[in-house]
Structure 1
Amino acid sequence: MTGVTIRALALAGAVAAMGTATGAQAGAFGLREQSAQGLGLSYAGAASGAAGVSSMFWNPATVTMRPGFTSEQSLTFVNLSADIRPTAGTAPFLAPFGDSGEIGQGAVLPSGATSYQLTDRLYVGLQTGAPYGLVTKPRPDWAGSIYGRSSRIFSLSFNPVVGYKVNDWLSIGVGANIEYFRLTLRQAVPVAGLSPALYPPAFLKGDSWSAGWTAGATITPWEGTVLGVGYRSSVHHDIEGSFAVPNPAIAFAVGAVKANLNTPEKLSVGLTQAINPVTRINLGFEWDNWSRVGDIAIVSKLLGRPVTELPLKFKDSYFYSVGLEYDWSPNLTVRGGFGYDDGPIDNSNRSVRLPDSDRYLVSVGGSYRWSDKLTLNASYAHVFIQKNRIVAGPGQNYNVGNIPFTAIADGSADLVSVGFRYAWDSPASVAPAPLVRKY
């Protein structure tokens, strides 16, 4: 057997071991935290412009809703609190190592949007933010360490858009979605004869730049009513990275891998309806095609073929929300909202990396008009995550060495978002471009 063949077989075994070790991956990792104003409404009406300038994330046609030159920036602090407690059914030699401890990690998510009016009908804009993200980190030597020690997903998107007012009641918008995606997964690898406290670590990491597109429309059939529909395409990522796993012959095997990831499409529908001159109700609906993600094949670049796969097996998710806004005074607007997220994770595909479940969102917020140019936004939301069950091992999607692991996961999250909107010029100073017609 040649040296090349020996090395190839060693790397194949290493990748396969890493694949089984990462059977419990990031799970549902979408983020909606793109707007301080929108959070206060639980994102109800985001596609119809209720999330301010940042509504471009959901619907690029909303760029036409603000005349002149306007910028908006937001910072959202996400405080996830969750723990995983092993139950009867966990392998006896793992159970004594106990629960995960606090797996939640706080994170600050920046986002922003700018719109600029070129003519009386043509607008351009740019929205930036993080459409995907995940940070969970249990104790290193807990009972489920072979299914996950830490997980980190980072993303950043740039969405330049163009909007056009077709007439007084219809606007359309299109744009690009330029996206960066990076992941790092770590866990323990079981080794015969060693205590679980001494299991060696393994990691898988990679990143990618890619692009998709976005489109949408807003309809204003009469004053006080806005209907918006927006679409974000799937983004195909060719992720390239590396892995490191224990190998008895050489202590560790390190190799290059690649994988294809298709992010889910998003369809957003929003309705904003004025009840009276100072009160508005907003409704929202989002569909995310998480089932498109499927199982992700991990390919060894040395061998040129798949050696294992990550069995995500997500289902589609649906988000419903309702929000109310009230203009307390000419300078102060208060708002509140409620949302229900029928998520992509259930008992069949739940992992220790993100023990997600269906969620309820309750939020409050307000906007204060500091001056003719500056408006301040602030919101708070609490996320109730349903208590759920994790089952891994023989016969399950997530299976490391036929070692059973069962647990109960419980969690919640608090979100605090602050931001501002600034009009760089007065709308009155923006003279509409003359319409030149030839007959």
Structure 2
Amino acid sequence: MSRYLPITIASLSSLLIASDAFAGAFAVREQSAWYQGLSFAGNATISKSLSSMYWNPATMTGHDGVQMESSQTIVFPRATVDLDTATIDFFPVPITGVPYSSGDIGVDAWVPAGYGTWKVNDRLSLGISSNAPYGFETKPQIEWAGQVYARSSRVLTVNVTPTAAYELTDKFSVGVGLQLQYIQVRLKSGFGVAAAAPTAELRGEDYNLGFGATVGALFKPWKGTQLGIGYRSPVEQNLKGRLVIGGNAPIPIRANIIMPETVTVSFQQELNERWRGMGTFEWTHWSRFGTFPVFDLQGTEVSNLPFQYSDGYFISLGTEYDFTSSITGRFGVAYEWSPLNEGNRGPRLPDADRFWLSAGLSYFYEDWLEVDFGYSHLFPVSEKINIMPGHPFYEGITIQGPVNDTNVDIISFGARLKF
């Protein structure tokens, strides 16, 4: 048992942080049914959807009266890790007696988002949003050759952001917001590599909430053109929890992690009375995700964890067309560069660069109700897991193999009420 204790503590402690990276790398971008159909092109500019305030709070100035919006998204991810090498390096012997395939690790997820705005006067707007900016769940089969590094994972976040925006001139608006974020983590790994190995489980959450800011600006240089920029700041989360290995006494642990900042830049251009084009570029500062210490509650460092992430990038283009005064269709494409690569990818983090293809439709029912539908299919690039000496997760067991059968389908519905 003592042989696997340092491996399990180190791998689980690292996954306390890595799982959030997975959620960031698989960024919960699905905050809007409207922009889902555009592959999120133009999401920092004003549209009929309130959801652009998530990326750029200055866009609230484009909405009159009191409005509310709800977006409900279901994500269907699929991926299988098929190991072709699994070796206990300190013997060394190959791992036997358990399958080399993880099975499908994807778990369907529901992502809710809500928005509200109030036009106080001709210049000032107030609003609030509720989102899940990070979150994922993966579940390999319980017994497999990579179980020391991953058995199951679940991360949940809730972010509430009150915001204010002010229209300085007819062409220029600014906005600010305060982020309040809660996070909960639950992770399981196999305590050892043998069949029927006991489970090591880690649970942690940030009871005190993490705080951050969001700021943005919107510029309309001439009629029909919008340029928007939004910034979501880092949010530090102070996790406290425990690690339970089999039937042993819980080990209290704590870790401070920092969710990275994001900058979103968008444009929107009217091409004629019915047709619009838009685009977005987004940068996420994942390279700050380097080394994080994990402590017990007495302040003794359990492990020093290097991740060596790269920054993440996202670019999209989309178009909208008003078929009638009541029906608008949209289409978008995007490409996303993951912060993960073969040098830092693990079986809980099978993230890769990916291509987006999206379509959507909105129906405007009189003046008080609008409904949106969006669909996206993601095509990830084929990648590999390669945990061996030199990999940041490596703890004496080498696993290597491709990530197969990867794809993601996303369906999103939204509704907007005007009062």
| Same structural fold, with TM-score higher than 0.5 when normalized by the shorter chain | yes
Distance 1:229 1:244 in 2: 45
Shift of 1:124: 0.2
CA distance in 2 between partners of 1:307 and 1:51 (Å) = 50
Per-residue CA deviation, residues 12-52 of structure 1 (Å, 9 max, x unaligned), is: x9677411355554243121110000100000000112482
CA distance in 1, matches of 2:222, 2:136: 42
2:303 maps to 308
AA in 2 matched with 1:33: E
From 367, 387, 403, give the equivalent of 1:409: 403
Indicate yes or no: 2:50 matched with 1:53.
Answer: yes
Q: Taking structure 1 as reference, are residues 51 and 349 closer, same or farther at Cα in structure 2, changes over 3 Å only?
A: farther
Alignment partner of 2:356 out of 344, 356, 361: 361
Asked if structure 1 preserves the Cα contact closer than 8 Å seen for 2:81 and 2:102, the reply is: yes
- Deviation at residue 99 of structure 1 after TM alignment: 0.5
Q: Match of 2:269, as an amino acid?
A: Q
Q: What residue number does 1:207 align with? A: 205
1:270 matched residue in structure 2: 266
Deviation at 1:88, TM superposition (A): 3.9
Q: Do the aligned residues in 2 keep the contact of 1:50 with 1:272 (CA within 8 Å)?
A: no
Give the aligned partner of residue 74 of structure 1: 71
CA distance in structure 1 between the aligned counterparts of 2:97 and 2:306, rounded to whole angstroms:
25
What TM-score comes out, normalization by structure 2 length? 0.93
Distance in 2, Cα, partners of 1:136 & 1:373: 40
Aligned mates of 1:359, 1:19 — CA distance in 2: 30
The aligned counterpart of 2:222 is 222
- Does the 8 Å contact 2:84/2:100 carry over to 1? no
Structure 2 match to 1:344: 339
Q: Secondary structure of 1:168's partner?
A: coil
- For 2:52, give the aligned amino acid: S
Instruction: Tell me what 1:233 maps to.
Output: 233
Q: Which has the larger radius of gyration?
A: 1
Please report how far the alpha carbon of residue 62 of structure 1 lies from its aligned counterpart in structure 2 after TM superposition: 0.6
Describe the SS at the equivalent of 1:326.
Answer: strand
Q: Distance in 2 between matches of 1:312 and 1:184?
A: 20
Per the alignment, residue 243 of structure 1 pairs with 243
Deviation of 1:256 (Å): 1.2
Name the CA shift for 1:279/1:95 in 2 (closer, same or farther; >3 Å): farther
Alpha-carbon deviation of 1:115? 0.8
Q: 1: distance between equivalents of 2:107 and 2:408?
A: 10
Q: Which amino acid aligns with 2:11?
A: T
Q: Which runs of structure 2 are paired with 1:284-303 in the superposition (5 Å)?
A: 284-302=280-298
* Contact 1:16–1:308, Cα closer than 8 Å, also in 2: no
SS across alignment from 1:350: coil
SS in 1 for 2:44: helix
For residue 187 of structure 2, what is the aligned residue in structure 1?
185
Could you tell me how far 1:59 is from its partner in structure 2?
0.3
Segment of structure 1 superposing worse, 237-246 or 151-160: 237-246
SS of alignment partner, residue 70 of structure 1: strand
Q: So what's the TM-score if we normalise by structure 1?
A: 0.88
The alpha carbon displacement at 1:375 in A equals 0.6
In 1: Cα distance, 2:410 partner to 2:249 partner: 41
Check the 8 A contact 1:148/1:188 in 2, yes or no: yes
1:131 alignment partner, SS class: coil
What is the aligned-residue identity percentage? 35
CA contact (8 A) 2:8 2:148 kept: no
Q: Please tell me whether residue 124 in structure 1 is matched to residue 126 in structure 2.
A: yes
1:115 corresponding residue in structure 2? 117
Pairwise CA distance, 1:311 = 3.4
Q: What CA deviation, in whole Å up to 9, does each residue of 1:87-144 have, x standing for no partner?
A: 1465522485220111000011110111100011000011111000110000000111
Contact persistence 1:22–1:185 (CA under 8 A): no
Residue in structure 2 matching 1:85, options 70, 82, 85: 82
Whether contact under 8 Å (2:161, 2:177) holds in the other structure is yes
SS at match of 1:126: strand
| Aligned position for 2:387 | 392
In 1: Cα distance, 2:290 partner to 2:205 partner = 19
SS across alignment from 2:101: coil
Structure 1: unaligned runs, 5 residues or longer? 1-9, 425-439
Corresponding residue of 1:65: 62
1:354: how far off? 2.1
* Structure-2 change in CA distance of 1:120 and 1:216 (3 Å): same
Contact 1:44 1:50 in 2 (8 A): no
Cα displacement string for residues 237-277 of structure 1 (whole angstroms, at most 9, x for unaligned residues)? 1111111125xxxx514121110101000100010000111
- Is the contact made by 2:292 and 2:306 (CA closer than 8 Å) also made in structure 1? yes
Query: How far, CA to CA, are the matches of 2:48 and 2:40 in structure 1?
Result: 7
Q: List alignment gaps of at least 5 residues for structure 2.
A: 89-93
Distance in 2 separating the partners of 1:315 and 1:253: 37
Which amino acid is 1:242 matched to?
Answer: R
The letter of the residue matching 2:203 is K
Cα distance, 1:340 vs. partner? 0.5
CA distance in 2, matches of 1:210, 1:89: 39
Structure 1 residues 121 and 15, CA gap change in structure 2 (3 angstroms): farther
Cα distance change of structure 1 residues 406 and 15 upon mapping to structure 2, 3 Å threshold: closer
1:34 aligns with 2:25: no
Q: Letter of the aligned partner of 2:194 in structure 1?
A: P
CA displacement at 1:300 relative to structure 2: 0.5
Distance 1:288 1:94 in 2: 41
Deviation per residue, 1:256-315 (Å, 9 max, x gap): 11101010001000100001110000110110001112222110003x121113433221
- Taking the aligned partners of 1:215 and 1:158, their CA distance within structure 2 comes to 15
Higher mean C-alpha displacement, 339-348 vs 293-302? 293-302
